[in-house]
Amino acid sequence: MKVRPEWSQRLLRKGVLVKETYEVFAAWDDSLTESQNLKATLSGRYPTAGWEREVESTLVRRLRHIELIRPLIALAKFRYDLAVRRARERALSGSHR
């Protein structure tokens, strides 16, 4: 019997892709499918189509249980919206803190 590792070999090769995951979650559109959200966020962002496919393949695995990660998507969207709002407020007030 082959023992399956509890860690992903893909993650060991490609990294944890925290920034990429956050960006996808922050831009998430509930009216789109998981695949459409990935395409909308990742398309054309990487130097090669191969790397884009690798990132997409990794993130697809994270979306297998979408209902379990919806709270993370909501948090990413809130933090993103908050950051945008703060930047706008600073720009309007002339503050550059």
Domain-by-domain residue ranges, the chain? 11-93
**Predicted confidence (pLDDT) per residue in 21-71, tens digit:** 889 999 999 999 999 999 999 999 988 998 899 889 889 988 988 999 999
What are residue 17's phi and psi, to 5 degrees?
Answer: 55, 45
Q: What is the pTM of this model?
A: 0.69
The pLDDT value given to residue 12: 65
Q: Is the pLDDT of residue 76 over 80?
A: yes
Tell me which residue of 96, 79, 78 sits closest to 87, measured CA to CA. Answer: 96
Most distant pair of Cα atoms in the chain: their distance: 65
- 3-class secondary structure per residue, the chain: CCCCCCCCHHHHHHCCCHHHHHHHHHCCCCCCCHHHHHHHHHCCCCCCHHHHHHHHHHHHHHCCCHHHHHHHHHHHHHHHHHHHHHHHHHHHHCCCC
Contact 37, 24 (CB under 8 A): yes
